[in-house]
Structure 1
């Protein structure tokens, strides 16, 4: 992958009046060849492996000669045995439709001009790919504009390119693009966890109130209880989910379909199962409270209120991963979740055990016997959430061979 320059000289008594190649480059004495190399950065090879594992296809588009481009691509692990290499002249000879037909196998394009970049972008987009194109020159701006994500070089890039691009690499490093993809996946995953957790909580609360009225039971929660539940118990753990670290296989999953909704099939399975389990658990504990304290509706409501709060706080830990067991990622590895749950538990307990707050919330004191009866029902929804994960993991294993 050396760039080679030939070196020659010619002694002259004086500088000629006309300095052009026809006059100066005559009767030269050949000295030798000079090989120069611009080695790839050390982290690029690892970044390409990570990108390939994440289902991201990297294509080298360069102005170098074919031999140089092939050598560099092989060195960094980009060019495979079945990968195709096209030169700019070959791209000129191909129609847009012909390039689109073979673009899936193209891994290196060499001796290209900025106009070829636009042609390559359109070919990949025609195949339904989300395309990111890098560039640094003024002439690269059209290709960056046509790509789904235009990436400009922050150090060597021109102002025109930076203004056209969607993203600017401050270090001009390919590995930074892969890191950005990983961070984007983590953010999207945390948004899903946030939405999933709150949806399950709210759907469960709606079903509990609906079925209690359907069965002719008193309402299990006072309005202020539901308000406290949503503002305090649900809010803080949901925010902590947004600070969750990436799951171990976040860069080993294929890209999600561009038209896939946030609430997909996997999330729907949990949205159906967990609220139903929550509803059964809360109505049972509420019934126990009504039978144990027939003359105190407030105590039965307090049992249902505390049980639901504690159940959702425990389930917040299971919501930290959509597929992995809470024990495999570490129960207390998210310190923000730990603080959120502790604060929320404290705010729930003061409504029960601080006497002057009870009239505001309509709660009653709960003894040790009440807690013993409530604990099994607190665990039902978190256990159901973990069982849903087991089902999803088994389903994913069955689907993986078919998808590959």
Structure 2
């Protein structure tokens, strides 16, 4: 539903974008050659990461939706669960976005406590909406069990694994060592 898409944007992007602004620079940033002035805002690495993460998010969300509807879940319940999955995917993905080159596990969480707070608030606001009668009616959402939430979190963590694999493969390529991006 349109209101759910707006909610997804509000609860994830609004909070997390501000929190990412407080992310420190990457180690070794000053040792790398500067970007070409002719290079656009969207460099090839950013485009590749966006395509890979978008594809994986879409695959996970569509796969979950397909499974739920094929298993006979009512459409409203499948929509509610998919919305929560998308919120979790966004909450997981923000940790991938902290660095273009380094693993999310190599960037200390303490470096951006505001981001941790932002993700916690975003998830908390969505859970609150799922449990508040007014927001349930407006958004067409309902509470989910802890078991469902945990399963959805595990599905969302597949995105983290995919992006870690992407970064590993990119780091092994020769151009990664010279500072250029193919």
**Normalising by the residue count of structure 1, what TM-score does the alignment of the two structures yield?**
0.42
Taking the aligned partners of 1:369 and 1:228, their CA distance within structure 2 comes to: 23
Q: Any unmatched runs of 5+ in structure 2?
A: none
Higher helix share: 2
Offset at residue 266 of structure 1 (A): 0.9
Taking the aligned partners of 1:344 and 1:332, their CA distance within structure 2 comes to: 19
Structure 1 segments of 4 or more deviating over 6 A? none
Structure having the higher Rg: 1
1:374 and 1:292, CA in 2 relative to 1: closer, same or farther beyond 3 A?
farther
Taking the aligned partners of 2:2 and 2:109, their CA distance within structure 1 comes to: 32
1:375 is aligned, of 133, 145, 153, to 153
Q: Could you tell me which residue of structure 2 aligns to residue 392 of structure 1?
A: 170
Higher strand share: 1
SS of match in other structure, 1:333 = helix
Q: Structure 1 residue 245 and structure 2 residue 24: aligned? A: yes
Tell me if the contact between 1:233 and 1:309 (Cα under 8 Å) persists in the aligned partners: yes
Q: Could you tell me which residue of structure 1 aligns to residue 35 of structure 2?
A: 256
1:291 and 1:367, CA in 2 relative to 1: closer, same or farther beyond 3 A?
farther
1:348 and 1:236, CA in 2 relative to 1: closer, same or farther beyond 3 A?
same
Taking the aligned partners of 1:402 and 1:269, their CA distance within structure 2 comes to: 14
Offset at residue 389 of structure 1 (A): 1.6
Tell me if the contact between 2:127 and 2:143 (Cα under 8 Å) persists in the aligned partners: no
Taking the aligned partners of 2:19 and 2:168, their CA distance within structure 1 comes to: 24
**Normalising by the residue count of structure 2, what TM-score does the alignment of the two structures yield?**
0.89
1:321 and 1:402, CA in 2 relative to 1: closer, same or farther beyond 3 A?
closer
Q: Kindly indicate whether structure 1 or structure 2 has the higher relative contact order, using CA contacts under 8 Å at least 6 residues apart.
A: 2
Q: Structure 1 residue 226 and structure 2 residue 5: aligned? A: yes
1:319 and 1:402, CA in 2 relative to 1: closer, same or farther beyond 3 A?
closer
Tell me if the contact between 2:19 and 2:118 (Cα under 8 Å) persists in the aligned partners: yes
Q: Could you tell me which residue of structure 1 aligns to residue 126 of structure 2?
A: 348
Q: Could you tell me which residue of structure 1 aligns to residue 64 of structure 2?
A: 285
1:290 and 1:332, CA in 2 relative to 1: closer, same or farther beyond 3 A?
farther
The total of aligned residue pairs comes to 181
Q: Deviation digits for residues 226-271 of structure 1, max 9, x if unmatched?
A: 1011122112111111111111111110111110111111112112
SS of match in other structure, 1:261 = coil
Q: Structure 1 residue 330 and structure 2 residue 108: aligned? A: yes
Summarize the alignment of residues 2-401 of structure 1 with structure 2, pairs less than 5 Å apart. Answer: 222-294=1-73, 296-395=74-173, 400=178
1:242 and 1:396, CA in 2 relative to 1: closer, same or farther beyond 3 A?
farther
Taking the aligned partners of 1:259 and 1:343, their CA distance within structure 2 comes to: 39
1:306 and 1:392, CA in 2 relative to 1: closer, same or farther beyond 3 A?
same
Tell me if the contact between 2:23 and 2:111 (Cα under 8 Å) persists in the aligned partners: no
Taking the aligned partners of 1:340 and 1:299, their CA distance within structure 2 comes to: 27
Taking the aligned partners of 2:109 and 2:179, their CA distance within structure 1 comes to: 31
Taking the aligned partners of 1:289 and 1:369, their CA distance within structure 2 comes to: 15
Offset at residue 360 of structure 1 (A): 0.9
Q: Any unmatched runs of 5+ in structure 1?
A: 1-221
